């Protein structure tokens, strides 16, 4: 089955001429016009990842802190059995698609032999100062088929120049090192925590910065896009991926990929100053394509602490988080902090493997396969069967101006299900604003669930499985004719 996507050379937008191609009618089919702001190609690729991991690892791992002051002796960084291949293998088993490493956290300690500071791994006993955690992990990730991303804290509590223009050059040099020496970087993570007390080269004081102007973010983002044109930049305000507004890993039940961010006071939003509650929901018909990422730790803290070894989230909790993040059109960024050996602690590894097994068993097969599908309206050449072909690039759509419609799935025999997954073809914009799923029970339609935003992936769940041989998807609101690439039914594995 062929599909064709025609992209404009411009990074920010592209034109999609997507063929439903299965039918010989495809050549005469006219795709619907895109609606509203659209994802860039890197954003589109990112939206297909769904689940990937954060690795919080630095001096804090060894001195039991969450935020290092920046006065650490580099000698404390000394993992005894760092094994990046073993870390990647556990994450692969969990179904992860990539890892983002804290190359530098707020303490300023760099996990690679940077030329910019002595607060780095070069002055640690690890491999006699010849080690490079960024290199070892990025190589292992590539071998394991995982994408690699970097977290580089803008706030640096060690650097004497923090707060002055000189620090900005240092920060950008660090970024340049990471973005040129370690292969393809799929995501660049800029934390919103900025400024406060610190060591600052011995000054030991509190330094506040002007969040709006100090970092001159547009220049840094342009540099990043130039060095890694396929990567996406994350911050409270993007420019490619937005923070979801909380650190619980949960997107709003309504979560638009489009967003018009503003600062707390209604002024221009910047990293460290955005209305967090608004970020959880996004903006219907917002100015920017800025989908949400849900970051959360598998433990209470971001770094490994022995006292939290019995507070690791269970496979079921991770599954719930997946449904409440990726399943709401956002993505699931789960932090898994390596321990002092440089390994994923056994309890965490067990939970991750359990989560992976649950995911595989649950989503192994779309139970709607084999259904006869009938839509109340179908655009010429874009048949509803494309909802069941496991191909995100083929879709069903309707004639222009149809904004309410329904599709009935008739199954050869009754099936039990408690999860419904719907995917919008987001390359053509976020169009749908309301939908419901119903099943046929005792000669009448019963509501299974309802939602608003769909986006790249929307999962509806019920507490008890239902059994039916007819299921109906109703689109109750759409800003332009709805474009859907998937409809799927699943039964959660225990
Ligand atoms: C926050 C940081 O302050 C935490 O330490 C952690 O890195 C988290 C992901 O982001 O803003
Ligand atoms: Ca499809």
Atom of ligand 1 nearest to the CA of 189: 9
Residues 331 and 385 in one domain: no
Residues 389 and 442 in one domain: yes
Atom of ligand 1 nearest to the CA of 153: 7
Query: Does residue 399 lie in a domain region?
Result: yes
Report how far ligand 2's centroid is from the alpha carbon of 207 (Å): 52
Distance (Å, whole) CA 276 – CA 268: 14
Closest CA to 298 of 241, 342, 355, 213: 355
Enclosing H/E stretch for 484: strand 483-490
**366 alpha carbon, closest ligand:** 2
Query: Does residue 350 lie in a domain region?
Result: yes
CA-nearest residue, atom 3 of ligand 1? 193
* 106: helix, strand or coil: coil
Residues 187 and 60 in one domain: yes
**272 alpha carbon, closest ligand:** 1
Residues 91 and 159 in one domain: yes
Report how far ligand 2's centroid is from the alpha carbon of 350 (Å): 34
Report how far ligand 1's centroid is from the alpha carbon of 191 (Å): 7
Atom of ligand 1 nearest to the CA of 102: 7
The segments of the chain whose pLDDT lies below 70 read 1-27
Residues 200 and 292 in one domain: yes
Q: 217-227 vs 165-181: helix axis angle to the nearest 10?
A: 20
Q: Which of 316, 341, 363 is a domain's end point?
A: 363
CA-nearest residue, atom 10 of ligand 1? 191
Report the CATH number at residue 183: 3.20.20.80
Atom of ligand 1 nearest to the CA of 303: 5
Residues 420 and 342 in one domain: no
Residues 354 and 393 in one domain: no
Query: Does residue 8 lie in a domain region?
Result: no
Token pair in block for residue 257: 């990929």
Query: Does residue 451 lie in a domain region?
Result: yes
Count structural domains, the chain: 2
Residues 137 and 174 in one domain: yes
Q: What are phi and psi of 176, to 5 degrees?
A: -60, -45
**394 alpha carbon, closest ligand:** 2
Residues with CB under 6 A from ligand 1: 66, 191-193, 295, 302
Ligand 1 mutation pick, 236, 248, 249, 302, max ligand atoms within 8 A of CB: 302
Q: Which of 363, 381, 406 is a domain's end point?
A: 363
Distance (Å, whole) CA 358 – CA 354: 6
Reported pTM = 0.95
Query: Does residue 19 lie in a domain region?
Result: no
Residue 406: DSSP 8-state: E
Residues 80 and 212 in one domain: yes
Report the CATH number at residue 379: 2.60.120.260
The distance from CA 120 to its chain's CA centroid, rounded to whole angstroms, is: 29
Neighbouring C-alpha atoms within 13 Å toward the C-beta of 268:
6
Residues 398 and 285 in one domain: no
Query: Does residue 308 lie in a domain region?
Result: yes
Which residues form the domain of 266?
39-363
Report how far ligand 1's centroid is from the alpha carbon of 155 (Å): 11
pLDDT digits (tens, 9 = 90+) for 240-275: 999 999 999 999 999 999 999 999 999 999 999 999
pLDDT at 27: 57
Residues 338 and 442 in one domain: no
Query: Does residue 123 lie in a domain region?
Result: yes
Atom of ligand 1 nearest to the CA of 191: 11
Q: 133-144 vs 84-93: helix axis angle to the nearest 10?
A: 40
Cβ atoms of 439 and 451 within 8 Å: the answer is no
Report how far ligand 2's centroid is from the alpha carbon of 487 (Å): 8
Residues 66 and 196 in one domain: yes
Query: Does residue 257 lie in a domain region?
Result: yes
Q: Which of 332, 363, 394 is a domain's end point?
A: 363
């Amino acid at each position: 089955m062929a599909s064709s996507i025609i992209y404009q050379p411009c990074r920010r937008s592209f034109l999609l001429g997507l063929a439903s191609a299965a039918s010989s009618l495809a050549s005469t089919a006219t795709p619907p016009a895109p609606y509203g702001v659209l994802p860039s190609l890197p954003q589109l690729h990112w939206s297909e990842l769904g689940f990937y991991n954060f690795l919080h690892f630095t001096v804090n791992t060894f001195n039991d802190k969450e935020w290092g002051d920046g006065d650490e002796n580099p000698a404390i960084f000394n993992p005894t059995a760092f094994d990046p291949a073993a870390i990647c293998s556990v994450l692969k088993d969990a179904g992860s698609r990539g890892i983002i490493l804290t190359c530098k956290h707020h303490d300023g300690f760099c996990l690679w032999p940077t030329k910019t500071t002595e607060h780095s791994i070069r002055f640690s006993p690890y491999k006699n100062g010849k080690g490079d955690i960024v290199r070892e992990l990025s190589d292992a990730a590539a071998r394991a088929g995982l994408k690699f991303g970097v977290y580089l804290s803008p706030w640096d509590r060690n650097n004497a120049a923090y707060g002055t223009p000189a620090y900005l050059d240092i920060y950008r040099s660090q970024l340049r090192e990471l973005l040129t020496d370690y292969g393809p970087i799929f995501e660049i993570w800029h934390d919103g925590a900025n400024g406060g007390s610190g060591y600052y080269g011995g000054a030991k004081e509190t330094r506040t910065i002007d969040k709006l102007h100090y970092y001159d973010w547009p220049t840094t983002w342009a540099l990043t896009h130039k060095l890694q044109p396929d990567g996406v930049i994350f911050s409270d305000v993007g420019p490619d991926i937005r923070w979801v507004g909380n650190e619980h890993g949960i997107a709003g039940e309504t979560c638009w990929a489009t967003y018009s961010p503003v600062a707390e006071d209604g002024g221009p939003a910047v990293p460290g100053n955005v209305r967090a509650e608004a970020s959880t929901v996004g903006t219907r018909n917002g100015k920017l394509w800025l989908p949400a990422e849900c970051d959360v730790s598998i433990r209470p803290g971001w770094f490994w602490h022995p006292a939290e070894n019995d507070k690791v989230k269970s496979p079921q909790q991770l599954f719930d988080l997946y449904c409440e993040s990726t399943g709401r059109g956002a993505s699931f960024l789960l932090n898994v902090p390596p321990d002092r050996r440089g390994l994923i602690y056994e309890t965490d590894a067990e939970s991750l493997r359990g989560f992976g097994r649950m995911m595989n068993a649950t989503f192994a097969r779309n139970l709607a396969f084999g259904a006869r599908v009938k839509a109340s309206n179908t655009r010429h050449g874009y048949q509803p069967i494309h909802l069941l072909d496991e191909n995100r690039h083929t879709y069903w759509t309707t004639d222009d101006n149809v904004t309410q419609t329904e599709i009935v799935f008739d199954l050869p025999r009754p099936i039990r299900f408690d999860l419904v997954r719907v995917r919008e073809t987001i390359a053509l914009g976020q169009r749908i604003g309301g939908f419901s799923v119903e099943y046929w029970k005792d000669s009448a339609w019963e509501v299974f669930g309802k939602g608003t935003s769909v986006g790249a992936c929307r999962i509806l769940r019920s507490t008890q499985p239902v059994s039916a041989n007819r299921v109906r998807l109703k689109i109750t609101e759409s800003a332009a004719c709805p474009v859907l690439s998937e409809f799927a039914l699943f039964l959660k594995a225990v």
